[in-house]
Amino acid sequence: MVNWIWLGMIVVSVICGAANGRLEQVAEAAFGGAQTGVTVCLGLISILVFWMGLMKIAENAGLVSFLSRLLAPVVRRMFPDVPSDHPAMGYILSNMSANLLGLGNAATPMGIRAMQELQKLNPEPHVATPAMCTLLALNTASITLVPTTMIAIRMNFGSAHPADIVGTTLLATAVATAAALLADRWYRSRSRPSDPPPALPSAKRKGIAPADPAGGEGSAAL
């Protein structure tokens, strides 16, 4: 699906650009976008390097596995195929708590660490596992207690009650997260029968892998 969206956006852009006489701006925007991509990554480097260093300490001190044991009963039901004492659980929980507290730049490295741990359980390294999709769903809906940025911006422009959007945001984010989890559940249960048998990961990777992404996408498409 990502393949088609990407291709679609580019092709539509060129057609639209030609129709609107803005092809020059479109070409410019392509390189501008590439530059933005690199700039964003450069900004991520410092955050990722720092937090991953700190989290390595937490991991070696046993804090991550402690956290996962402590809260596993709650999250285990969302991630039935991850062993409850696996380090991935600890990172998933750190990621969720950071999101909840509005600590965006701490949440991302923790989520990435969780993905890296989930990848170790993945029989096909290029295809997302159901657990990865659930973690992603949680992060795209990103449940938030305090929308700090929005409050700050409204304060900036002289709002009488800058924080009065906290209630509406909480309601909207809870509904969006519930919708994400439900949709994730639905797709997960639908895709289960066509999942590759876990017994044959190496054969799968060697023989069928190149064709598989397309096949998987097709069967999951609406």
The reply to whether 194 sits near other proteins by the rule CB under 8 A is no
Tokens representing residue 9 in the block: 């956006």
Helix (H, G, I), strand (E, B) or coil at 145: coil
The reply to whether 136 sits near other proteins by the rule CB under 8 A is yes
Which residue from 70, 74, 85, 168 is in contact with other proteins, where contact means CB under 8 A?
Answer: 168
Contacts of 1 (CB under 8 A, 6+ apart): 217, 220, 221
CB of 110 to other proteins, least distance (A): 11
Helix (H, G, I), strand (E, B) or coil at 84: coil
CA distance 185 to 191: 10
Which residue from 75, 166, 204, 205 is in contact with other proteins, where contact means CB under 8 A?
Answer: 166
Q: Which amino acid is at 11?
A: V
Nearer to other proteins, 13 or 84 (CB): 13
CB 124 within 8 A of CB 204: yes
Which residue from 176, 201, 204, 205 is in contact with other proteins, where contact means CB under 8 A?
Answer: 176
Which residue from 17, 123, 196, 201 is in contact with other proteins, where contact means CB under 8 A?
Answer: 17
The reply to whether 123 sits near other proteins by the rule CB under 8 A is no
Instruction: Indicate the Cα dihedral angle 55, 59, 60, 65, nearest 10°.
Output: 160
Tokens representing residue 156 in the block: 């900036």
CB of 56 to other proteins, least distance (A): 2
CA distance 89 to 117: 9
The reply to whether 220 sits near other proteins by the rule CB under 8 A is yes
CB of 83 to other proteins, least distance (A): 18
The reply to whether 34 sits near other proteins by the rule CB under 8 A is yes
The reply to whether 199 sits near other proteins by the rule CB under 8 A is no
Q: Of 45-74, which residues contact other proteins (CB under 8 A)?
A: 45, 48-63
How big is the site for other proteins, counted in residues (CB under 8 A)?
A: 114
Which residue from 26, 75, 78, 121 is in contact with other proteins, where contact means CB under 8 A?
Answer: 26
The reply to whether 29 sits near other proteins by the rule CB under 8 A is yes
Nearer to other proteins, 73 or 191 (CB): 191
Tokens representing residue 153 in the block: 């911006």
Contacts of 129 (CB under 8 A, 6+ apart): 81, 118, 121, 122
